[in-house]
A and B are shown apart, each in its own frame.
Chain A
Amino acid sequence: MKNINELTYLAKNSRITRRDFMAKASALGVTAAVASTVWAGSAKAAPKKGGKFRYGASHGNTTDTLDPGTFNNGGIIHQGFGMRNHLSEVDNDGSLVPDLAEGWEASDDASEWVFTLRKGVEFHNGKTLDANDVIASMNHHRGKDTKSAAKPLLAPVTELRADGKNKVVFKLAGGSADFPYTVSDYHLAIMPADKEGKVDWRSGVGTGGYIKQSFEPGVRATYKRNPNYFKAGRAHFDEVEFLTITDVVARTTALSTGEVDAMSRCDLKTVHLLKRRKGVKVEEVTGTLHYTIPMHTDVAPFDNNDVRLALKYAIDREALLQIILKGHGVVGNDHPISTANRYHAGDLPQRKYDLDKAKFHLKKAGLSSLSVNLSAADAAFVGAVDAAVLYKEQAAKAGININVVREPSDGYWSNVWLKKPWSMVYWGGRPTEDMMFSQSLAEGADWNESHFSHKRFNELLVKARAELDEAKRRAMYVEMQTIVNQVGGTVVPLFANYVFAMSDKVHHDPKMAGNWDMDGDKAMERWWFG
């Protein structure tokens, strides 16, 4: 605990009890009277405990399991965060805070990370957390036989070992200043290990704020508060009932009639009507979720940067924002970094719909007209096909003929994305610039959807990853965003807001997380009844 400001921050965000606050304040040399005043001033909206929170989730399948390696939708991710914890956590204000690890330290080149575990944390089954649980949980996503979608995240980890009972050492192939962010990923939940070093994911036993009572995937699940939860000021509801309501009309009426207390993903077409309903409040957060239209930069005609620029100038982002998202989002600037990220290049001029420039670049490429195929399906995102057709109309005015190829939604990610030279895609977004760039634009990355290969970009990526100096890092990430904006192969038209609604009895911190829907998919743990 460094100073009183940090302590005040904790109090404001209800991360500390009054008793702890007073004790720590006096340790800092603050008199009891002053501390008491500070407490009262900061912790006004102290959350109340109790109640049964019923959440109507837009996503969830009967095929869902409790294996975090195969989590693939917001419904199950939310429940994972309720049952389990991670080494670190992206807080509701976007900063990285300790979770099961109480702290971490890097070697000078950021290639070796030591995580010190919180002592005395118990799993729901009474087992005490130690380094072996962490190692088993990480190994669940590593090796030849893993089914985990998080395998690429941990690919840089070359060695993983325990240093005593409470320390875990990660050795990486290269320096990575953001590695503590990586371990906050929803796949990398900490679960209890058995004697053979395998994790038990079936039981749903974790260290989290909620203990699983029943679990019928794709239908409903019920949870009870963990009385021994280690995190102060979190997990306020006594009980949580989790309902999967995939039909948006059913979800909206369930909220309007008081069958549920909160819902994810409002219908953007009717959300202005929902706002008028008494007793319901609609919330909106701009996050890292964005849509991309990647071209294979090594395939003609996309191998010519002037063709790419012509296509980037030929899309009317403002019109798409109004029509596809009904204004619930922000326009993209042809790079994948959101305003919610730390090093967003705000000074980079926003690319606009400019037919003259589009024609100019087309001419520069030696073409009088251009005809290209664009693959789209609503699997990419809701409205992807409509967006493609609008793009076709907008580009036609610049003499570009976009032929929209409607692909089947089934198997879209395996048969169309990364395979067809130009397609519609969505990205859930990553908490750090490094993760986003490494996965979608680095040379040799599995998901380098535009086959982007730029020497300076790749050099900067490695350098910035290991750079611990904030200002230097910022400069490097801004330069990278500029490169992608100028010569990249990806049109990034839109960042979509998370739009969700709740009963006005439900309260939350003033700022909500933008890394996932529903307050970072931690509504269960962060919200309370007023």
Chain B
Amino acid sequence: MSMIGKLVAQRLALGLLTLFVVSLIIFLCVELLPGNLAQEILGQAATPETVAAFNRELGLDLPPHERYIAWLLDMTKGDFGRSLASQREISELLGMRVQNTFFLATLAAVIAIPLAVTLGILAALYRDSWYDRIVNVVTLTSISFPEFFVAYILIIVLAVNLGIFPSISNISEDLGFWEKVYRSALPALTLTLVVVAHMMRMTRAAIINLLASPYIEMARLKGLKPGRIILKHALPNALAPIINVVVLNLAYLVVGVVLVEVVFVYPGLGQLFVDSVSKRDIPVVQACSLIFAMTYVLLNLLADVLSIMSNPRLLHPR
């Protein structure tokens, strides 16, 4: 286990470095965009004097490196700072949205992962049958359409025509858990349709890959049932690639949902991120991208740790 401890510590240190580089790149990119916060907020009504007054008050007239260093110093003290546009504490601004984003990702994952793995195992089991083909065609079709299109189809069928679910996710803090689940159902279903194919195909491929190996043939010759061969003999050895794909998709569920948030008016991080970029609200952009980057770093680490733990050869190296 000490090996894993060492790996985790090493990766976390590297992760911190990654976060630093990410924040630097994001800062530079936003600086390179035309226009600044004052101009974007005042829009057509911007005059040189009002823009100057804006910049003075928010310290935007300082050179970029000074602003970046000031931000970095606050960050090391764990202070996200304040939004330039609204002067609200960023931690307060993020709180509810981070929760919402992770809630939606979890909900989608809870539906998608068991579904994808089961479909994948069954597809491997009945490979080249009609069932296999239908599952493949359906999941590949749903991943091939753009997300917003899948979302609109679900809205038309489930919200407008059948009236089962609400067409927009009007979520607020005071809602009960099940009410939240109900209102997030359509975005969660959309995300499920988008990520299932990838995980299902990987499960199927990883298992089929193993079915040709000698020990599986041995099991078959012993007269074991196909279901038992796949679940007890093939699956444990196929776990590493499956875990990798599942975790990558989890990361996608957190960071790639901007379109789905827009279509369902879901108050998550994506909308905040887009608005902040378009208004050049750098501290908020930084905070959001750090959360996204952190999600990737941590989930990748999790994938590696789980892969190692699922593989005795890596867990107990000679």
Contact = CB atoms under 8 A, between A and B. Distances in A.
Name the residue among B43, B47, B159, B264 with the largest chain A CB count within 10 angstroms: B43
A147 interface: yes
Contacts of B159: 253, 257
Contacts of A150: 45
Contacts of B166: 257, 259
Contact of B49 (A72, A151, A244, A250): A151
Given A63-B275, A247-B263, A411-B33, A72 B42 contact: yes
Interface stretch (B16-24, B217-225, B245-253, B276-284): B276-284
A283 interface: no
Interface in A247-298: 247, 249-250, 253-254, 256-257, 259
A250 B41 contact: no
B271 A62 contact: yes
A145 B56 contact: yes
A410 B39 CA distance: 10
Nearest to B55: A147
A63 B87 CA distance: 9
B85 interface: yes
A120 to B, nearest CB: 34
Contact of A63 (B33, B41, B45): B41
B35 A144 contact: no
A413 B96 CA distance: 33
Interface stretch (A157-165, A215-223, A481-489, A511-519): A215-223
Contacts of A415: 34-35
Nearest to A148: B50
A243 interface: yes
Given A218-B275, A244-B265, A413-B39, A146 B50 contact: yes
Given A250-B168, A259-B170, A145 B42 contact: no
Given A72-B42, A149-B42, A253 B160 contact: yes
Contacts of B267: 216, 219-220
Interface string B156-183: 1001100100111010100000000000
Given A147-B38, A257-B163, A65 B50 contact: no
Contacts of A444: none
A145 B265 contact: no
B40 A250 contact: no
B34 to A, nearest CB: 4
B57 interface: yes
A147 B57 contact: yes
A50 interface: no
B86 A410 contact: no
Interface in A126-158: 144-152
A411 B262 contact: no
A62 B156 CA distance: 28
A65 B35 contact: no
A339 to B, nearest CB: 23
Contact of A64 (B35, B45, B86, B272): B86
Contacts of B163: 257
A447 B47 CA distance: 9
Nearest to A253: B167
Interface in A195-213: none
A410 B167 contact: no
A61 B54 CA distance: 18
B167 A250 contact: yes
B39 A414 contact: yes
A70 interface: yes
A408 interface: yes
A243 B42 contact: no
B47 A256 contact: no
A215 B103 CA distance: 22
Interface string A484-516: 000000000000000000000000000000000
Interface string A221-255: 00000000000000000000001111101100110
Interface in B82-131: 83, 85-87, 93, 96
B202 interface: no
Nearest to B57: A147
B76 interface: no
Nearest to A153: B45
A245 B38 CA distance: 24
Interface string B47-64: 101100110110000000
A109 interface: no
Contacts of A313: none
A62 B53 contact: no
Given A65-B86, A217-B86, A149 B45 contact: yes
A246 B168 CA distance: 12
A250 B263 contact: yes
Contacts of B86: 62-65, 217
A411 B39 contact: yes
Given A62-B272, A145-B57, A246-B262, A410 B33 contact: yes
Nearest to A222: B172
Given A147-B50, A245-B265, A446-B47, A259 B168 contact: yes
Contacts of B170: 220, 243, 259
B45 A259 contact: no
A417 interface: yes
Most buried by A among B41, B54, B163: B41
A19 B90 CA distance: 51
A243 B169 CA distance: 11
Interface of A: 61-65, 70, 72, 144-152, 214, 216-220, 243-247, 249-250, 253-254, 256-257, 259, 408, 410-411, 413-415, 417, 425, 446-447
10 contacts: A63-B41, A63-B279, A72-B45, A147-B54, A216-B96, A220-B267, A243-B265, A250-B167, A410-B40, A414-B39
Closest 6 pairs (CB-CB, A-B): A411-B35, A149-B45, A411-B34, A63-B85, A414-B39, A62-B275
